Amino acid sequence: MPDQRLPLPPFGRELIVRPQSASLPWPILICFGRDVWQSARQWQGNPTVCALICPSNSAPIQYRWPVLGLMLIVDWQPDQAAGHDDVMALVKVLLG
């Protein structure tokens, strides 16, 4: 169980307050790497998905990810700030 004292990732509050409807599961995109803010804002314009951000300047374990049982897609743009090891760290946190 994630530590409830941890902060939600950017745009995580939108996921919490979004109405849970019969149309679930809708995908949750985790934007990671280059241009994450721009990418997440574009995805947020689509009512059939929800986008969260994993900032490249912090570790995924520093956040509470409310995604248990939901369909996840990692929207990763490889760059110097987010390499393969960083993606694996994110995936391990999400699976935990």
The reported pTM is: 0.81
Residue ranges covered by each domain of the chain: 33-95
pLDDT given for residue 87 in this prediction: 85
pLDDT in tens, 29-52: 999 887 888 889 998 888 888 899
Q: What pLDDT score does 63 carry?
A: 95
Write out pLDDT tens, residues 1-30: 556 789 999 999 888 877 665 465 578 999
Beta-bridge partner residues of 32: 54, 76
Q: Helix (H, G, I), strand (E, B), or coil: what is residue 23?
A: coil
Q: Which pLDDT score, from 0 to 100, does residue 81 have? A: 63
